[in-house]
Structure 1
Amino acid sequence: MFDLVSKAKPVRPGKIYGAPGDGMSSHISLITALLIFALWLLVTEMGWVKPLFLPSPLAVWDKFMVAMTEGVSNSTLTQHTLASLSRVLGAFLLALVSAVPVGILMGVNRIMRGLFDPIIEFYRPLPPLAYLPLIIIWLGIGEFPKVFLIYLAIFAPMAIAARAGVRSVSTEQIHAAYAMGATRTQVISQVILKAAMPEIFTGMRIGIGVGWTTLVAAEMVAAHRGLGFMVLNAAEYLASDTVIMGIIVIGIFAFAFDLLLRYLEKILIPWKGKV
């Protein structure tokens, strides 16, 4: 018995007694997606649900091909997609260069926290449709109000995440940096900011998701192109195949951006979960 134990290979830390949920789950996600698609195909092919309420995958695919070539709602699917991408990405970039610095300042400065915290916490729970009429009254019905509405929805979670990341830095790390002669600026840039990066990326992922959910509300007002506009316009004519096709396209792009941010997080923050 002693020989068997002595010859056994050492177990890598976390291999067996690791954190709950450790391990790959991509194959499970793939199987889940295939099962949902198979169930959708079965229900529609057996006629258990009328096509008005749930069109078949083949009908949605046919509508996708029509949207790519002939177009729907006066534009092709590519034109709708480019219009929505410009709005969401524009709002996301604006939030990135403004919300993250504001969140960091809220974490390191009590005056900035006192100024921005009540404003953010007041409007954050409000649905975008609640302040959409006010944005229309103030800014009109052009392109900027649509981007601004999405920007407001993204700003709050990104700022809160950046602030939470700053506040999560341990006091010992800060004291150690000061003990080694670091200035306040160096402590903020080299210790606090780097330690807050995981939370900032989490806020970015939440923000881009919120941006896509706000897209439909933003394109309700005087829009002529966009995925949200296409879905709303199709709903008025009970074109459920176009509605589902638009939902799938929005979901694919939202998921793709989330995967991109996950990849960038692994590249830019290799120390996450290790310190």
Structure 2
Amino acid sequence: MSDAIETRGVVIRTEADQPKFVHMKGFGAGEGNTVLISMATAVFLIVAWWLIAKLGLVPRLFLPTPQEVLTQIAAVYRDGYAGASLGEHVSASLFRIATAAAIAIAAGIPMGLLMGLSRWAKGVFDTPIEFYWPLPPLAYLPLMIIWLGIGETSKVTLLVLAMFAPICLSAQAGVRSLPIERVNAARSLGARPWQLLISIVLPSALPEILTGIRIALGVGWGTLVAAELIASNRGIGYMIMSASQFLATDVVFVGIGIIAACAFAFSAAIRLLEATLVPWKGKS
């Protein structure tokens, strides 16, 4: 049976000949918004925390209620804690993490790109990075104190070492994942080495680099708190340590909440930067 009808030399196509558009089914988490799911999860966790503390399933000494923690936040903000105001504690920690992150990014990205482009650079620098990277930062914190003292230099150096490796290795991975066809196409158009680096290599490695920075910031916050627990008189970690010595669990929760808020803000900033600089990520 024909799907076309001929009338006076004019061919009229039936609906069977019309193109059909098929919507491809996604795979994995996709690009759907997860804000509502995350908010519902947060509300569930807070309610569960409140119920466990309110019903006395865990003694108040070990698990205060959310209301007690909120009250303590106001008290610490008003009166300070451990010989310093809340602003001084937070600003000390932010200064250390921001300074170390800037140094680690400035040193780690060029080193990672160089290791991805040159086998000599990879052979020389890969061994020391792989040697110290698996070590816990607290393992060489005493060495930093012996070498650099208990001032800010030892803490910032410790943070730089902890954050440098993820950034460097992610930059190297970004270069090694670069399709060679893209490089050859640029070469065929007469691109010079520095043009390849700026226009091809760096943009292609940028998604991996930003992911490495997010990982490095997480490692940096954990290392910062550990360093402040041992050798500091200012900072969020120091505030938590002082509170734990007096069994002030609500103040410990305040410190943990501040750290979580700061870490979330840093991560959100990197996500925003990622959406601005590499909007094509995950869409190829």
Matching residue of 1:28: 37
SS of the equivalent of 2:229 reads: coil
Whole-Å Cα distance in 2 between the matches of residues 181 and 260 of structure 1?
37
What's the CA shift for 1:46? 1.2
- The size of the alignment, in residue pairs, is 270
Whole-Å Cα distance in 2 between the matches of residues 122 and 109 of structure 1?
20
Whole-Å Cα distance in 1 between the matches of residues 17 and 214 of structure 2?
46
Matching residue of 2:189: 180
Specify which structure has the bigger relative contact order, considering alpha-carbon pairs within 8 angstroms and separated by 6 or more residues.
1
Matched, 1:207 2:224: no
Whole-Å Cα distance in 2 between the matches of residues 116 and 259 of structure 1?
31
Whole-Å Cα distance in 1 between the matches of residues 252 and 36 of structure 2?
29
From 263, 271, 274, the equivalent of 2:280 is 271
Whole-Å Cα distance in 1 between the matches of residues 200 and 82 of structure 2?
51
Whole-Å Cα distance in 2 between the matches of residues 177 and 236 of structure 1?
62
Deviations 1:88-114 (A, max 9, x none): 011000101001111111000111111
Matching residue of 1:156: 165
Matching residue of 2:51: 42
Which blocks of at least 5 consecutive residues in structure 1 are unaligned?
Answer: none
Whole-Å Cα distance in 2 between the matches of residues 5 and 217 of structure 1?
69
From 110, 118, 137, the equivalent of 1:128 is 137
Matching residue of 1:95: 104
Whole-Å Cα distance in 1 between the matches of residues 236 and 174 of structure 2?
34
SS of the equivalent of 1:219 reads: helix
Matching residue of 1:104: 113
Cα-Cα RMSD: 1.8
Matched, 1:76 2:85: yes
What's the CA shift for 1:274? 3.4
TM-score, reference length from structure 2: 0.91
Whole-Å Cα distance in 2 between the matches of residues 5 and 226 of structure 1?
71
TM-score, reference length from structure 1: 0.94
Deviations 1:92-150 (A, max 9, x none): 00101001111111000111111111111111111011000111111111111111111
The answer to whether the 8 A contact 1:44-1:56 is kept is yes
What's the CA shift for 1:5? 11
Matching residue of 1:64: 73
Identical positions, percent: 45
Matched, 1:19 2:19: no
Aligned partner of 2:205: which letter?
Answer: A
Whole-Å Cα distance in 2 between the matches of residues 141 and 48 of structure 1?
42
Whole-Å Cα distance in 1 between the matches of residues 58 and 15 of structure 2?
65
Pair 1:253–1:184, CA change in 2 (3 A): same
Matching residue of 2:229: 220
What's the CA shift for 1:221? 3.5
Whole-Å Cα distance in 2 between the matches of residues 95 and 134 of structure 1?
20
SS of the equivalent of 2:170 reads: helix
